[in-house]
Amino acid sequence: MKKLKKILLWTVGIIGLLLLAFNFILWPILKKQTKKISPEQQVTYAKGDLKIDVFYCSPSKKDREIFGGLVPYGEVWRTGANEATTFTTNKDLMISGQPLKAGKYTIWTIPNEDSWKIIFNSKMYGWGVKLTDQTAARNPEYDVLSVEANVSNSLNIVEEFSITLNEPSSITTVMIFAWDNVVVPLPIRVQ
């Protein structure tokens, strides 16, 4: 019985050490390597007392079929690579005519050929996909806003996924998601 107890304690200790090694040594190395492939991007928009920040990681096309291939239609996408994309606003906004309170959100999308569902979720996630099955880490219980946006075709192929904030008029800002031959504009106004 004592021998079995010692073996069990050693096994638990070794597993604990392996988990610590993964969390503090291997995981940071893995994250650093993926950042080389899909670098971090920060977009800041400021006008008057409005400030919007978007943080995302930008994967490249690399001759791959993106939408309907690498990013399947009808499935939740983390909207970039690595960590979940975040969106922070210091003012209440109207997103495609629907209200979004000031705060920090993760952005998730469900791409389809003609439109995307764009979801603002109040939970922050350590990584954009579950490590077990590589599906989106989003928990729909924390969704605070979901809007539809139409897909447009780009005149040029966009090699690296991008999110930009443009101001086509004095009252409207447009957040644009672009990759491959797809452009998805999302109108934003201050409430």
- CA dist., res. 102 & res. 91, Å (int): 5
Q: Which residues of the chain have pLDDT under 70?
A: 1, 4-6, 8-9, 12-13, 16-36
CA distance 162 to 164: 6
Angle formed at CA 122 by CA 117 and CA 125, multiple of 5 degrees? 95
- Give the C-alpha separation, 74 to 117, whole Å: 9
Taking only the tens place, the pLDDT of each residue in 160-184 is 999 999 988 777 899 999 999 999 9
Please list the residues that pair with 147 across neighbouring strands.
Answer: 118
The whole-number pLDDT of residue 133 equals 81
Mind listing the pLDDT tens digit for each residue in 114-129?
999 999 999 999 888 8
In whole angstroms, give the CA distance from residue 107 to residue 136: 11
Residues paired with residue 118 on neighbouring β-strands, in sequence order? 109, 147
Residue 179's φ and ψ, nearest 5 degrees, are: -165, 145
pLDDT of residue 126: 81
pLDDT at residue 16, as a whole number: 57
DSSP 96-107: TTEEE-SEEEEE
- CA 39 – CA 59 distance, rounded (Å): 7
Q: Is 82 helix (H, G, I), strand (E, B) or coil?
A: coil
- pLDDT at position 27 is 47
Query: Which pLDDT does position 21 carry in this prediction?
Result: 53
Give CA–CA dist 180/162, Å, rounded: 10
